[in-house]
C-alpha cells in the first residue's frame, strides 16, 4: 500500500505533547495527519468521514477512547489504534471491536507506523483483525 497525503490519519489525545509527537512522524511518512484534543472535538469535525485510521488515547477527560469507540458505533468502518500510558487490562479487553493495535506509551515511531500500515491494510481488506 502506498502512503499518500490524501490518506488521513487522525490522532485524538488530550496531551498536546503526544499529539505533536505523533503528527510529525505521520506526516514524514507521507500521511495527512489531523489532531484533536478531545473525542468531542473529533466528533464535531468533518474529519470523521475522511479519516482512514484513528489513533485514540484510552484515558481522556470527559469522553475517553472506549466511549468514543462506542459512540462511533458498529456502522463506522474506521480502524482504531488505542494508545495508553496506563497498564489497564480492562481497557485492553474493552477495546476489541475494530481495534487493530494497542500501543503502550512510550512507543517507537516504527511501532506507530507499523500499526498504521496494519490499520490501513485492515480497512482496505475489510477484515477484522481482532474479534
Give the residue extent of every domain in the chain: 8-125
Cβ proximity of 8 and 31 under 8 Å:
yes
Per-residue model confidence as pLDDT tens for the chain (131 residues) = 445 668 999 999 999 999 999 999 999 999 999 999 999 999 999 999 899 999 999 999 999 998 998 898 877 888 999 999 887 666 666 555 556 788 999 999 999 999 999 989 876 655 343 32
pLDDT given at position 128? 42
pLDDT given at position 121? 87
Rounded CA separation 86/15 (Å): 14
| Cell numbers placing 27 | 506526516
Domain 8-125 has CATH 3.40.50.2300: yes
Rounded CA separation 69/78 (Å): 10
Amino acid at each position: 500500500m502506498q502512503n499518500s497525503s490524501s490518506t488521513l490519519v487522525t490522532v485524538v489525545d488530550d496531551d498536546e505533547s503526544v499529539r505533536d509527537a505523533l503528527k510529525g512522524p505521520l506526516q514524514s511518512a507521507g500521511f495527512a495527519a489531523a489532531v484533536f484534543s478531545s473525542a468531542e472535538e473529533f466528533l464535531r469535525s468533518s474529519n470523521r468521514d475522511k479519516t482512514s485510521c484513528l489513533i485514540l488515547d484510552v484515558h481522556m477527560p470527559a469522553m475517553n477512547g472506549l466511549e468514543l469507540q462506542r459512540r462511533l458505533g458498529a456502522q463506522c468502518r474506521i480502524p482504531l489504534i488505542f494508545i495508553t500510558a496506563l497498564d489497564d487490562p480492562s481497557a485492553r479487553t474493552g477495546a476489541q471491536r475494530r481495534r487493530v493495535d494497542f500501543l503502550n506509551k512510550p512507543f517507537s515511531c516504527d511501532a506507530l507506523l507499523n500499526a498504521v500500515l496494519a490499520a490501513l491494510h485492515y480497512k482496505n481488506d475489510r477484515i477484522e483483525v481482532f474479534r
